[in-house]
Amino acid sequence: MVYTVTLNPALDYIVHLDRLRPGCTNRSTGDSILFGGKGTNVSVILGRLGVPSVALGFLGGFTGREIQRQMEEAGLVQDFCQVEGNSRINLKVKGEEETEINGTGPAVTPGDLDRLFAKLDLLGPGDTLVLAGSVPPSVPRDIYEAILAGLEGRGVRAAVDAEGSLLRRVLRLRPFLIKPNHLELGDLFGQTLRTPEDAVRHARLLQGEGARNVLVSMAGEGAVYVGEDGTVLRAPAPQGRVVNSAGAGDAMLAGFLAGLAAGKDPAGALSIGVAAGSATAFAQGLADAGAILALEKALPPIERIMDKGEELP
């Protein structure tokens, strides 16, 4: 079973404007309220690709109840811990540019964390755990590290999509997969990564720190995969008009995991991952299965940059 952890899920209030005028009354041309969070996005795409999952994390208050209602309506299995306070609301303004104001979320107590760890203690061999997204201010910054340390040696396959120290702290525990984007990967080293070769070099540095496999999303440059066996793959980005970049990286991770769950090799999994990420970027929300599979058929071939023992030119 796949389990996703979203420590700070949200209701996304999405407002469409012709143009945002600061200091003035702005009237929307349309709006919507949808549940969000990186781990929950992974669960959505997994479900649309036929891979069941259980969503874990924290929910609170009337916003938490709405998140839960929408997830149940979408057919997603969830087992959140209920906490005091309200889950956050994120305001996303879509005008000439995208502007976001993200809430902080409820305070999570040590007792709340104990309840989450009790649920995670049930995971075992063959399970996959996805840790994705930001951490509420009330939660220790080493939470992902603590979660993986508690599961060490139990045969659980971990995938981590996080930034900065949240990601770096888990590397010593040798997660199966990490998925930074090229900006996050560059920030870890104080560098600007411009080419797939740049991404490969820095992904290998993270492997030196403990990561087993590294999947790097690169926006218009597609994605690269650096495997623990030394194989390096590149998937060029498909052509299309980007409508909404939010959730594209989450969709790519979910698509990749869905490919592995279907028994595909890394190249096949990467193909589904890039299709899921790109189809989401080309849509108003998370892509449906039909759009993902149609785009996968139209993708350029996956490029094998090098095999084990080869070096970058």
| Residues labelled catalytic | 250
List, in order, residues 6 or more apart from 261 with CB less than 8 Å away.
2, 51, 128
DSSP of 276-305, one letter per residue?
HHHHHHTSSSSPPHHHHHHHHHHSPPPEEE
Whole-angstrom distance, CA of residue 185 vs CA of residue 163 = 8
The residues, ordered by sequence, that sit 6+ positions from 257 with a Cβ below 8 Å of its Cβ are: 2, 42, 46, 51, 128, 130, 159, 177, 269
> Cβ(120)–Cβ(91) under 8 Å?
no
Rounded distance between C-alpha atoms, residue 284 and residue 306, angstroms:
36
Distance CA 67, CA 234 (A): 36
Helix (H, G, I), strand (E, B), or coil: what is residue 312? coil
CA angle (46 as vertex; 246, 1 as ends), nearest 5: 135
Alpha carbons 45 and 292: distance in angstroms, whole number:
10
Distance CA 26, CA 5 (A): 36
Cα 157 from Cα 123, distance rounded (Å):
10
Q: DSSP state, 181?
A: B
| Residue 143 CB partners (closer than 8 Å, separation 6+) | 7, 113, 135
